[in-house]
Amino acid sequence: MKVVGKHIPHDSAVGHVTGEALFVDDLPSAKDELIVDFIASPVAHGKIIRFNFEELSQLDGIAGIFTHADLPGHNLFGPVIQDERFLAEDIVEYVGQPIAVIAGESRKAVRQAKKQLQLEIEELAPVFTIDEALAAKQFIGEARELKKGDFEKVWNEAEHKIAGTFLCNGQEQFYLESQAALAWRGENGEILVHSSSQNPTEIQEVVAEALGLGFHEVVCVCKRMGGGFGGKETQAVIPAVMAALVAAKTGRSARVAYTKDDDMRSTGKRHPYKIYYKAGFTGAGKITGVKFDIYSNGGAAADLSTAILERTLLHSDNSYFIPNLVFRAMICKTNFPPNTAFRGFGGPQGMANIENVLQEISIVLKKDALEVRRLNCYGHNDQNVTPYGQIVQNHMLPEIIDQLAETSSYKKRLTEVAEFNRKSVTHLRGLALTPLKFGISFTTSFLNQGNALVNVYKDGTVQVSTGGTEMGQGLNTKIRQLVAEEFAISYDDVRIMITSTEKNNNTSPTAASAGTDLNGMAAVNACQKIRRNLTEFASRYFSAPENGIVPSIEHIHFEAGSVYDDRLPENKLTFRKLVLQAYMGQVSLGERGFYKTPGVNLNRETGKGNPFFYFTSGAAVSEVLIDRFTGQLKLERSDILMDIGESINPGIDRGQIIGGFIQGVGWVTNEDLRYSDKGQLLSYSPTTYKIPNIQDLPDIFNLETLENPQHKINIRRSKAVGEPPLMLCLSVWMAVKHALSSVRNDITPRLNLPATAEEILQRLTELNGDLSNPETTAVRATESEVSLVSLPSISG
């Protein structure tokens, strides 16, 4: 009864379509339930002078207004550095920061009360950009550095050099279900929280700390999320605390569900980056050394910025061997909502930067960019050591690049693109092939653990509980497949139960693309314990001493819903009957499983170690069409080839690859966060923030996976597929740069990310303009070295 490897639909697919799949705000209201909202800061930075909360709390329909002073426990929290406040105290640090929680009998009552709000804030000077933070010396955490070889020596001796600045904007997670939580108070003061969260354990712990409770007095559950993408790894904490505070203070159940506008205004995004780069290389295009000074915009508090920046450092090589390098990195503190996790977790920004460097090297040398990328690609027996000392092994990066170039007719199309650009006066075409190498594991070692509870019932059906959370990525479906196959039973006989901290303790967030790796292995571990119990029982059950058949577990087989001893193959027992007999024989049919990822370590002092269990790799080639007069971009074709090991569910994996790629395309093309000069988000709704739609899909879209016989580790020899595909979007961004480079052969065009129509048109204007203008951002490709701007000290 083969289940793993089958195209089984997502277990909630029908419910998603029909509306029967319940999300937090769909749960039935209790008869005494209060509606919870928050009073937010209207300014980016200021001192709170006066408010009329006491007056508002007396209004009809208002059950209470609560400030930081009403929290019985801590007002500070943070997953790494505890520097963020649930509710502002004297100072506000970003537009949308919660100042007070308001609870009412109805949404109308809450809205009416908020209209009568009187809030006086003395504005203080805000800091918004990385440059402003550098000037003000506002940083979060410590500077980080990775070094290898002797960059200064090879830079001084380099045959060719480039230098410049890479800029990328942030990105809104845009999950369809906004932040939401329900809280119920128990008879002894304990709190139950339903949260749309990727991290129920963090919700449990932080709610307990805020309310002055023990962890054992708070339970967090999560049935499913309507999307997460990293935006609910830490940022679900504040709404959960809001609801829990109201429940604790009033004794009534409390519900909070952000509007989309409020969610976008008050929650963190993907980090914007500014990277100063220098690269030395040979005439053939071989990189001899690079230096990257990396600055991220962390927002007003640390959140996960330090971990995200670490992954940027660990992915700034992408798929390329760099013999000499210096990566220096720092987080800038600004007056925006604390930026947070987003699919790729800092990896995309570092990988975009190195891809930009490779593209510029090809432009300077007037070579095909694929030739330069292939020359610098990680190998098998040599140039296979990362900047942090981990060997890149059991990979197929060169083979992936070569196969994709062949199947996509890359060389033929490159010639056609060049010919088109020579002839067309209205449009430009661009073509680029970019690889990816993405490390799988949490880089913080202790997070690489998971546990599961598996219960087999007397009728042979199974319930499974893990700490993993389902946000549409198909985790539950894959775990059901794994468990069904362990017992050789039907997929329909297995159910995944609601994620609860009551059943699975001290769990890691569903993040880092490791949800199936950790929770799937833990579930299988529990199944193997139960199967061992059943096997021992079956060996006794099938024994026939009179025929010389003594109990032997080596002869017991589970197959197609039945169990038998291969010495008496005709004497089969259904799994259901075996389970019932085992129960009557007082055999344990419920077990807890545990798994920790082996061999993951990183010495942060030396910057060396093995921070990843393995790498997921792939490549994409994309072709774009650009209107010379408007900058309008059309993605005409994309071809993807990925090594994802042996797929547990090919259909779900295909959906993850396509979805991740298209979400990345949004980041590098149309998704543009815009703010006022007061720090107010202007693009705060679907009407002003453009995520990809059906028209943004490439007209021709090919996706293939390949077998990798060298990959023999991980659950069922599969590979993580949640985050890696997003970085394939860089082929689209680099295709735009390739198109721009055809306008003039003496200039290396600059291209910021995202490549919106406005950005492209600005670069076209520069390329067609007067290069004597000091404001131009284009760079002459004929110069052997471009002077780097004077850099501030990374240490501040």
Alpha helical stretches, state H, 433-574 = 475-487, 515, 521-541
Beta bridge partners of 556: 565
| E strand intervals along 345-485 | 427-440, 449-456, 462-466
Q: How do strand 76-77 and strand 84-85 relate by DSSP bridges?
A: antiparallel
Residue type present at position 21: A
**CB of 706 closer than 8 Å to CB of 643:** yes
Q: How far is CA 449 from the centre of its chain?
A: 18
Alpha helical stretches, state H, 199-327 = 200-211, 237-250, 260-266, 305-315
Q: How far is CA 50 from CA 65, 94, 119, in A?
A: 15, 18, 6
Q: How many other C-beta atoms are found inside a 10 Å radius of the C-beta of residue 385?
A: 14
Tell me whether residue 723 is one of the annotated catalytic residues: yes
Return d(Cα 634, Cα 697) in angstroms, integer. Answer: 9
Which residues, other chains included, contact 531 with Cβ-Cβ below 8 Å and sequence gap of 6+?
Answer: 486, 487, 558
Q: State the burial class of residue 381 (Cβ atoms within 10 Å of its Cβ: 0-12, 13-18, 19+).
A: exposed
Report the candidate in 352, 317, 46 with the shortest Cα–Cα distance to residue 171: 352
Q: How many other C-beta atoms are found inside a 10 Å radius of the C-beta of residue 723?
A: 27
DSSP 714: S
DSSP 494: E
Q: How far is CA 60 from CA 102, 105, 147, 424, in A?
A: 13, 9, 63, 68
Largest CA distance in the chain: 100
Which residues, other chains included, contact 226 with Cβ-Cβ below 8 Å and sequence gap of 6+?
Answer: 23, 175, 176, 177, 196, 471, 472
Q: How do strand 273-281 and strand 160-168 relate by DSSP bridges?
A: antiparallel
Return d(Cα 221, Cα 182) in angstroms, integer. Answer: 10
What is the residue whose two structure tokens read 């009179």? 546
Q: How many other C-beta atoms are found inside a 10 Å radius of the C-beta of residue 207?
A: 30
Which residues, other chains included, contact 95 with Cβ-Cβ below 8 Å and sequence gap of 6+?
Answer: 40, 41, 42, 43, 44, 265, 266, 337, 678, 679, 680, 681
Return d(Cα 120, Cα 99) in angstroms, integer. Answer: 12
| E strand intervals along 107-226 | 119-123, 139-148, 160-168, 180-185, 191-195, 218-222
Alpha helical stretches, state H, 644-795 = 650-668, 730-741, 757-767
| E strand intervals along 507-605 | 556-559, 562-565, 573-574, 590-596, 601-603
DSSP 72: S
Return d(Cα 341, Cα 298) in angstroms, integer. Answer: 11
Q: Which entry of 202, 623, 723, 766 is annotated as an active-site residue? A: 723
**796, two tokens:** 């501040």
Q: Which residues are catalytic?
A: 723
